[in-house]
Amino acid sequence: MKENIIDFTLVYNKYKKPLYNYLFKIVRAEMLAEDIMQNVFLKLYDNMSRIRHTEFIEVWIFRTARNEAFTHFRRTKNKVAEDISDYESVLPSSNLIYDLEQQELIDLIEDALKQMDSAQSEVYYLKEYSGLSYKEIAGIMDITEDLVRSRIFKVRQKLRTAIIKLERG
Instruction: Say what the pLDDT of residue 16 is.
Output: 94
Residues 119 and 71 in one domain: no
Domain that holds residue 8: 2-76
Residues 101 and 143 in one domain: yes
Cβ atoms of 36 and 23 within 8 Å: the answer is yes
**Do the domain assignments include residue 85?**
no
The residue type of 53 is H
Q: Tens digits of per-residue pLDDT, 27-52?
A: 888 999 999 999 999 999 988 877 76
Cβ atoms of 31 and 131 within 8 Å: the answer is no
Q: Tens digits of per-residue pLDDT, 77-111?
A: 644 333 333 333 333 434 445 555 666 777 777 78
**Do the domain assignments include residue 81?**
no
